[in-house]
């Protein structure tokens, strides 16, 4: 990466979440998806958009929680390593 002609090196560390850690989240997403598909075929026009918004909000909450966990892990590692 270059900024104002100065080359910067950025190290990025990715941590993959274990399947066991996210099993409940995957199950919840699959249930929401199933409900959304059922609602799309039903007679209640407001149900499908409501479920889509619920899934979007739930996803945002989970992403925010994961980001918080990653920041906490990074801070703790920094403190432990001096």
Q: Identify whether 68 is part of a domain.
A: yes
**Using 50, 70 and 90 to split pLDDT, how confident is the model at 79?**
confident
Q: Identify whether 25 is part of a domain.
A: no
Q: Identify whether 74 is part of a domain.
A: yes
**Using 50, 70 and 90 to split pLDDT, how confident is the model at 6?**
confident
Q: Identify whether 71 is part of a domain.
A: yes
Residue 17: count of CB within 10 angstroms of its CB: 10
Helix (H) or strand (E) holding 7, with range, is: strand 6-7
pLDDT digits (tens, 9 = 90+) for 28-73: 888 888 887 887 787 777 887 888 888 888 888 888 988 898 899 8
Q: Identify whether 16 is part of a domain.
A: no
CA distance 35 to 12: 37
**Number of separate domains in the chain:** 1
pTM of the predicted model, to two decimals? 0.52
CA distance 38 to 75: 44
Residues near 39 by beta carbon (within 8 Å), at least 6 away in sequence: 47, 48, 51
């Amino acid at each position: 990466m270059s900024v104002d002609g100065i080359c910067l090196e950025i190290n990025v560390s990715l941590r993959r979440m274990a399947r066991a850690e996210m099993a409940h989240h995957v199950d919840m997403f699959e249930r929401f998806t199933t409900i959304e598909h059922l609602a799309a075929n039903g007679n209640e026009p407001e149900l499908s958009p409501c479920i889509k918004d619920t899934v979007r909000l739930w996803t945002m909450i989970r992403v925010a929680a994961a980001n918080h966990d990653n920041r906490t892990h990074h801070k703790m590692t920094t403190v432990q390593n001096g």
